Amino acid sequence: MNEKKGTPAGSGFWQIIFPSLVAAITIILVCVWVVLDAGNESISRFSEISTVLLVLPVLFFSLIVLIILGASIVLVSRLMGWIPPVTQRILEFLVRVQEGVKKMTDIVAQPVIRPSAMIEAIRHIISNDKSRYRIE
């Protein structure tokens, strides 16, 4: 079986600590150089560069949003001519469905409503109370 080799002694320093120290010292030296060499012109130049770098991503993503908005406007304007005829056909179909459902429910309800209406009419004729409205 292959045995796992241990890390060599001191490799943690050369692989982790040394590159971190070099990067930190480099950053500190660049900051010191900018501060010592800072004149009004170089600071304004750096501020202009940083402003441009901050604005570029905003402009890029705004361009994407503008393209999506324009595409949706074009799509909706093309659909405006197509939607009314289709919705008119859908409305006509739904009106026919509504009329058919109404006829079917009337047909289904007739066997229940007619006998109960006849029974109530007979009760009303037979009862002694001839008043039209009754409070129960």
- The per-residue pLDDT for range 61-119, each reduced to its tens digit, is 999 999 999 999 888 888 888 888 889 999 999 999 999 999 999 888 888 788 887 88
Domain contains 4: no
Domain contains 25: yes
Identify the residue whose tokens are 């009004």: 40
- The per-residue pLDDT for range 27-68, each reduced to its tens digit, is 888 877 777 776 667 677 778 888 888 888 999 999 999 999
Domain contains 104: yes
Domain coverage including residue 76: 11-126
Question: Which residues have a Cβ under 8 Å from the Cβ of 42 and sit 6 or more positions away?
Answer: 34
Domain contains 132: no
Domain contains 41: yes
Domain contains 1: no
Predicted model pTM = 0.37
